[in-house]
Structure 1
Amino acid sequence: MYERYERVFAHVPRPFAFLDMDHLDANIAYVQRYLRDKKIRIATKSVRSLGVLKYIANHFPSFTGWMTFSVSETVFLLKNGFDDCLLGYPTVETEEILQLLPYMRVGKKVIFMVDSLETWERLQQIGKQHEIVFSICLDINVSTNFPFLYFGTKRSPLTEKVALSDLLKKGLTLKNTRVVGVMGYEAQIAGVGDRPHEKWKRGIMPTLKKASTKEVSKWRKAAVEMTEQIAGKLEFVNGGGSGSLLWTAEQEEVTEITVGSAFYFPALFDQHHSLPLKPAAGFGLRVTRQPEQRIIVCHGGGYTASGALSTDKFPQVYLPKGLHYLTNEGPGEVQTPLKATDQIPAIGDTVYFRHAKAGELCERFQLLHTCRGDQLEGQFRTYRGEGECFL
């Protein structure tokens, strides 16, 4: 693989980001195979490229829309011909919401995430003032609160029936809004691997995830049933993520699954034993120094992922094999030293890395250089390459 990339990308200036189209196609085929009867909603935050988003969507007959991550990003997508955008997170930015109204008035579908009366009332206020009805998706919290551990993410306050019922009864009095969907994202299953970076977690994590799936399914079904009893028939129930695809596809209450990271397959997802995917995206750095016999230095590389601080948020040294970070330095802001335990790359050679998360790579580069087979195929612009930066 290393020799192949060196041939294909020989004339691309370093540093650069790449997208292996053969691997992307294989990952798309995997997702297609296990979606079952569910529709797919593509998570834009995990891709962050107009061209790649369109490429992926065109491969899915069951494609239903996008899960976006900010209002300004949603405006950008609508401006570029996209439609059916589910805002994945609540928003209270009035001026940004107003930018969506012209698109909604001509029939573009935008759905707002709500988990509190305050957010719901803000949409009602804007809707009443501008004579428009907002579509709403209720975000329920499907984390599992074990007696000894809170297992999941701190997101929505809708953790039980009383809170959901209270919100629905108050929210449904707001006539410039309508409830069209429910989302229950099982982050503790989709985003947590079975083989964690920390060895001490490996024995307990599969047990926690198995126990949590039972609670997720029970609560999400109950939440959907309650919502439909109070608010009427829903258009969709959203669940899942790349790491829980196989399990979520079996859940009868879910009608659509959000998938994003599976397409690039970043390094953190190596911790999921159930995902036989292929690394599709990464970046290459030039070796510019050799201060010691087995130490090389690459130019660039400090593209650390978000989340709780740990070494698994570092970019993974991908190719060639046998290169490791120095414990007291790690990936640097403008240069990255590496220790070689095998073959030592020479000055002028390239070291290839995989980002720990998916779309965050695109915030660092303007272009994704694409290859297919042994050929350099072309380029996709990232959001940054389009001159955009959202979060």
Structure 2
Amino acid sequence: MSCVVNPVVPHQPVRDYAYYRAALAGQTLPAAFVDLDSFSANLEALKIRAAGLPVRLVTKSVRSMSMIRSIFTAAPFMQGLLCYSPAEAAWLASEGFDDIVVAYPSVEPAHLHAVAAQLREGRSITLMVDCIEQVSIIDTLAKAEGVVFPLSIDLDMSSSFPGIYFGVHRSPVRNVTTALALANEISCRSGVRLDGLMGYEGQIAGLMDAVPGEAVRSAIIRYLKRRSIREVTARRENVVKALTGAGHCLRFVNGGGTGSFESTRIDTSVTELAAGSGLYVPTLFDHYAAFKAAPAAGFALPVTRTPKRNVITCAGGGYIASGPAGKSRLPQPWLPAGCTLIDEEAAGEVQTPVCHPDSVAFGIGDPMLFRHAKAGELCERFNELLLIKDGHIVDRVTTYRGDGKSFL
């Protein structure tokens, strides 16, 4: 089984600096925006890559209720939400969304009470667990609330090779034995029931493997991915077979992410995929062997100073992404092309200096366009997203932050 296939390259709009500069004329900066034409092309690409499997929308990569609604309106193959917090799930359920799975374990009482209230309203919200202690706490609260919490088991999908741990430190449920033990524990309690299984192969879905200038490292990563895919696919298949064989009913088996559709969909035990980053397409999703996508989200900073030749200074910009500290987590100058950060200062809290080529000229107040390293984290910095279509701002929608929501 290989993770390298012919890349999916749908028709992608061609954008340049002049296009966005004209669209953003007169707007207050800094500002975040989504290019709806590129966004639609990316949505179509996910449909093609999913090859008929439904795709659960990863909300942490979108973080705008209006954008979530528009996705479901435009794409029937997107079915259900994969949230990152029970509080977020309860809020979205209260706004009319349904079929929600929370991807990460939590036992915060206030958040669980909010979920219980939505369950009583008939909403479907499934919580994630990976140990007996979590199950026990949720079961006790469920009985006090008079509800039954649907649960999903989080199956670890990391690989351990000699001298290399290839994956993320996520769940202690790593095999048939531990999965069955947890499923049996759930079945013995009256306040919870087993609803599904999630096996997210983060080292496949979230790790670029065709980075320009890093041929050796990319080749090694592709090799490790191929080995890991064979191993973890068999693991997930065996666990699903064991659970169903023991009489446990699984409504869904969730797998994959934007970067792993091609390998995850081959696993016949998987009933649905998951994706979110493939819509905005941040810089950490630029270089995959299996697919190409169009940048659809960015932010514009105003040029406020010209301290020296070929250097401008922009207001704000220190929107650093989570994960291992390093250049890959910095926002990157996007348009005009050829602009770069300065290593000694990078992206600053109140100002960001940028080097530009002789061919580019800026005036005070002009926009400098950047892309974030991760998708939804951009929305934690802005109250709204400007929606651009056919070269014009056609709408502006609130982010979670603009709605006064912060969940983690």
Alignment TM class, shorter chain as reference: over 0.9
Query: Contact 2:183–2:194 (CA<8 Å) still a contact in 1?
Result: no
User: Do the aligned residues in 2 keep the contact of 1:87 with 1:113 (CA within 8 Å)?
Assistant: yes
Query: Amino acid of the residue matched to residue 87 of structure 2?
Result: S
Mapping 1:14-93, distance limit 5 Å: 14-93=29-108
Deviation at residue 170 of structure 1 after TM alignment: 2.7
- Tell me what 1:356 maps to: 373
Q: Deviations over 1:210-266 (max 9, x none)?
A: 111001110000111111122423111000100112222222111111110000011
SS in 2 for 1:136: strand
Query: Is residue 367 from structure 1 mapped to residue 396 from structure 2 by the alignment?
Result: no
Which letter does structure 2 place at the counterpart of 1:184? G
Equivalent in 278, 290, 293 of residue 309 of structure 2: 293
- Give distance in 1, aligned partners of 2:48 and 2:241: 29
Alignment of 1:333 with 2:349, yes or no, is: yes
Q: What is the alpha-carbon distance in structure 1 between the residues aligned to residue 221 and residue 180 of structure 2? A: 32
CA offsets, 1:102-137, max 9 Å, x none? 211121001010100001111111122222111111
Letter in 2 for 1:374: G
1:1-391 matches, within 5 Å, as 1-196=16-211, 199=214, 201-342=217-358, 343-391=360-408
CA distance in 1, matches of 2:325, 2:53: 35
Contact 1:43-1:260 at 8 Å conserved across structures: yes
Partner SS state of residue 377, structure 2: helix
Unaligned runs of 5+ in 2: 1-15
CA contact (8 A) 2:116 2:142 kept: no
Secondary structure at the counterpart of residue 219 of structure 2: coil
Question: Post-superposition shift, 1:198?
Answer: 8.3
Equivalent-residue separation in structure 2 for 1:66 and 1:191 (angstroms) = 19
Return the offset for 1:175. Answer: 2.1
Deviations 1:160-217 (A, max 9, x none): 2222222223332112211111100010000001035883622311100111100111
Structure 1 CA distance, aligned partners of 2:392 and 2:75? Answer: 25
CA distance in 1, matches of 2:336, 2:76: 38
Query: Separation in 2 of the partners of 1:287 and 1:96?
Result: 42
Identity among equivalent pairs (%): 37
**TM-score, normalised by the number of residues in structure 1:** 0.97
* Whole-angstrom distance in 1 between the partners of 2:308 and 2:292: 38
Q: C-alpha deviations, 1:5-28, integer Å up to 9, x for none?
A: 111110111100000000000001
Is the contact made by 2:53 and 2:265 (CA closer than 8 Å) also made in structure 1? yes
- Which moved further from structure 2: 102-111 or 246-255? 246-255
Alpha-carbon separation, structure 1, partners of 2:112 and 2:183? 22
CA distance in 2, matches of 1:77, 1:258: 18
**Which stretch has the larger CA shift, 182-191 or 61-70?**
61-70
Structure 1: where are the runs of 5+ without partners?
none
SS of the residue corresponding to residue 64 of structure 1 reads: strand
Once the two structures are superposed, what CA deviation does each residue of 1:77-123 show, in whole Å capped at 9, x if it has no partner? 11211111101101111122011222111210010101000011111
> Is the 2:183–2:248 Cα contact (8 Å) retained in structure 1?
no
Compute the RMSD of aligned alpha carbons: 1.4
In structure 2, the residue corresponding to 1:227 is in which secondary structure?
helix
Corresponding residue pairs, total: 391
Q: Which amino acid aligns with 1:368?
A: L
For residues 313-359 of structure 1, the C-alpha deviation after alignment (integer angstroms, 9 at most, x for no partner) is: 10111000111111111001110011123423232221100100000
| TM-score, length basis structure 2 | 0.93
3-state SS of the aligned residue for 1:370? Answer: strand
- Cα distance, 1:274 vs structure 2: 2.2
Q: Secondary structure at the match of 2:406?
A: coil
2:12 corresponds to: none
Indicate if the aligned counterparts of 1:144 and 1:152 stay in contact, CA closer than 8 A: yes
